[in-house]
Structure 1
Amino acid sequence: MIYLYGLIPTAEAVKSPLSSLKGLDDEEHVYTIPINDVTAVVCLLNSDKYSEEILQQKMENDMDWLKEKAFHHHETLAALYSGYTVIPLKFGTIYNSEESLKETIAPKNNVVIHTFETLKRHEEWNMKVYCDDQKLMQHVTDHDEVVEQKRQEIESLPKGRQYFEKKKLDKFISQQLEEEKYRLCKSVHDQLLQYATNEAVKKNWGKDMTGLQESMVWNSAFMLPKEAIEEFLEEIKKSEPALLEKGLRVEVSGPWPPYHFSNIS
Structure 2
Amino acid sequence: MTDTALPDTTVHPTPVPATPPDTTTLTCVFAVCRAGRAEAPAGVSGHTEGGALRTLPAGRLTAVVQHVPAVGFSQEALRERLADRRTLEECARAHHEVVSAVAAVADTVPLPLATLYLDDDRARSALVGNERRFLDVLDRITGRLEWGVKVYTVAPRTRPERSGPPPAASPGPGAGRAYLERLRNRRQERDRFHDAALRTAERVDAAARAVAVAARRLRAHGPEATGKHRSQVLNAAYLVPVGQERRLREALAPYQGTPGVELELSGPWVPYSFTDGSALA
TM-score by length of 2: 0.75
Structure 2 residues without counterparts, runs of 5 or longer: 1-25, 160-173
Q: Residue in 2 aligned with 1:10?
A: 35
* CA distance in structure 2 between the aligned counterparts of 1:247 and 1:58, rounded to whole angstroms: 41
Q: Deviations over 1:133-176 (max 9, x none)?
A: 335x89xxxxxxxxxxxxxxxxxxx6553333333333333333
Q: Deviations over 1:29-74 (max 9, x none)?
A: 21111101111111111111111112122223x0011111111111
Q: Residue in 2 aligned with 1:114?
A: 136
CA RMSD of aligned residues (A): 2.7
* CA distance in structure 2 between the aligned counterparts of 1:96 and 1:257, rounded to whole angstroms: 27
Tell me which amino acid in the other structure corresponds to 1:52. Q
Structure 1 residue 262 corresponds to structure 2 residue 275: yes
* CA distance in structure 2 between the aligned counterparts of 1:169 and 1:23, rounded to whole angstroms: 54
Identity of aligned residues (%): 21
* Superposed counterparts of 1:1-265, under 5 Å: 1-13=26-38, 18-19=41-42, 21-60=44-83, 62-134=84-156, 161-205=177-221, 215=230, 217=232, 218-241=234-257, 243=258, 246-264=259-277, 265=279
Q: 1:249 to 1:222 in 2, by over 3 A?
A: same
Across the two proteins, how many residue pairs are aligned to each other? Answer: 239
Structure 1 residues without counterparts, runs of 5 or longer: 139-157
Alignment check: 8 A CA contact 2:92 2:113 kept: yes
Tell me which amino acid in the other structure corresponds to 1:175. D
Tell me which amino acid in the other structure corresponds to 1:186. E
**Normalized per residue, which structure has more helix?**
1
Alignment check: 8 A CA contact 2:46 2:97 kept: no
Tell me which amino acid in the other structure corresponds to 1:47. A
Q: 1:174 to 1:77 in 2, by over 3 A?
A: same
Paired residue secondary structure (1:134): coil
Q: Residue in 2 aligned with 1:147?
A: none
Paired residue secondary structure (1:22): coil
* CA distance in structure 1 between the aligned counterparts of 2:235 and 2:86, rounded to whole angstroms: 24
* Residue 208 of structure 1: how far off its partner (Å): 5.8
Tell me which amino acid in the other structure corresponds to 2:132. N
* Residue 100 of structure 1: how far off its partner (Å): 2.0
Deviation larger for 249-258 or 41-50: 249-258
* CA distance in structure 1 between the aligned counterparts of 2:149 and 2:127, rounded to whole angstroms: 32
* CA distance in structure 2 between the aligned counterparts of 1:114 and 1:73, rounded to whole angstroms: 23
Deviation larger for 194-203 or 84-93: 194-203
* CA distance in structure 2 between the aligned counterparts of 1:193 and 1:81, rounded to whole angstroms: 24
* Residue 182 of structure 1: how far off its partner (Å): 2.2
Deviation larger for 171-180 or 43-52: 171-180
Alignment check: 8 A CA contact 1:20 1:30 kept: no
Deviation larger for 180-189 or 165-174: 165-174
Alignment check: 8 A CA contact 1:204 1:219 kept: yes
Q: Residue in 1 aligned with 2:5?
A: none
Alignment check: 8 A CA contact 2:144 2:241 kept: yes
Paired residue secondary structure (2:73): coil
